[in-house]
Amino acid sequence: MFYGKYRHAYGGRRHRSASYTPAQHHASLFVFVLFLLVYGNLFRVTGQLFPAASIAPTAYAANTPAKPLSQSPVTPQTLSTATAAGEANTPAAATTIEVPRSCTSSGYTLPSALSLTAAAPGLTTVIDTPTHYEVYGSSLPALRTAIVNCPARRAAGSYHALTAYQLNWAYTPVATSGVCRLDNVRIGLRVNQFLPVFSPGSTTPTSVASTWDAYSRALKTHEDGHTALDVEYATKLTTALQNVGEMNCATLTRQTQSIIDSHVAMLNTANELYDSQTNHGATQGAVL
C-alpha cells in the first residue's frame, strides 16, 4: 500500500409511496426464489459472493484546510467480573485493558503565506521541517491499518502523506509618462509535508522493519518530488513577472494577473501529472 498526495493554496491579497397488491407479492416471491438459486450457484462457483475490500484510501484529498488534531492519551477501559450465584454481592474486581493505539500526532496544518513586507525582490522560499504522525503495529497489515485509521491523517487527506504549498506575491506598479511597469516583484513560497513514522521495537520482525524503511524512504522521495515542482514553478513565475515590460497601465494589470493564473495552473497540472506518472509513489517504491 502506498499513496502520497499534494495540496495547494494560493492568493495575492425525496420519497414516494406505492400501493402493494397480491400480484406484486407473487412476483416478489418468484424473484426471491430465483435469487436464492442464483446465489447458491454463484457461491459454489466462486466460493464467495463479495471480494474482500481494500483498506487502501483511493480518493483524492479535498482541497480544504486540514484541521489540527491533538491526540490525547488512551483512556483505559474497565471490565467488571461477574458475581457467582450464592456468593456475597461484594464489589467486583476491575480488570484494566489497554486499548491499542493506531497513531499519535500533534496535528497538521497547511502552510501559511510568507510575509513579503520586508522581503527582498525575487523569490523567497521556506521549506518547513516535515510534520509526522507515528503509527504502531507489529506487522505490515497492522501498520497499514494504523495508517488508514489514524485520525490525524484522515483529517489531512486521503493519502498516506501530503505535500502542500502556499504561494503569494507582491509588486509595485510604477507609472511613467502614461505607461506602467512592475517594480519590486516579490514572490513567497512556503512548503510543508505530513508523513508517517514508525519506530520498530525489540520484538519487531526484521522483515517488517526493513520493509517499512524502504517504504518510508520512497514515500519521502515522492513527496520531495512535489516540493521540487513547487520551487520550479515559483521560480518561473518570479522570472515571468520580473520580465514584464512597460505597457498601458490597465493592460499591465490584466497581463500580470494572467501570468500569475497561468503559472499556478501549470504548477497544479505538473503535480497532478507527477502523481499520475508515479501512481502516487508506487513506481518509486512507496508501497507498504
pLDDT at 102: 84
Identity (one letter) of the amino acid at 239?
T
Using the predicted structure, report yes or no on whether residue 269 has a pLDDT greater than 60.
yes
What is the Cα–Cα distance from 143 to 153, expressed in whole angstroms?
Answer: 13
Using the predicted structure, report yes or no on whether residue 247 has a pLDDT greater than 80.
yes
Using the predicted structure, report yes or no on whether residue 214 has a pLDDT greater than 80.
yes
Provide φ and ψ at 252, rounded to 5°.
-60, -40
pLDDT at 252: 95
Q: What is the per-residue burial (b if ≥16 Cβ within 10 Å, else e) of 157-173?
A: bbbbbbbbbbbbbbbee
Percentage with pLDDT > 70 across the chain: 65
And the C-alpha cell for 161?
A: 502523506
Cα 23-26-29 angle, rounded to 5 deg: 150
CB 139 within 8 A of CB 193: no
Per-residue pLDDT tens over the stretch 77-132: 322 223 233 333 334 444 443 445 789 999 899 999 999 999 999 999 999 999 99
pLDDT at 221: 98
Among residues 115, 56, 82, the alpha carbon closest in space to that of 280 is found at 56
What is the Cα–Cα distance from 51 to 165, expressed in whole angstroms?
Answer: 39
Q: Which residue carries 484546510 as its cell?
A: 65
Using the predicted structure, report yes or no on whether residue 210 has a pLDDT greater than 80.
yes
Confidence at 7, pLDDT banded by 50, 70, 90:
low
| Mean pLDDT value across residues 243-255 | 94
pLDDT at 51: 32
Provide φ and ψ at 266, rounded to 5°.
-65, -40
And the C-alpha cell for 153?
A: 491523517
Provide φ and ψ at 58, rounded to 5°.
-125, -15
| Mean pLDDT value across residues 213-223 | 98
The pTM for the full model equals 0.68
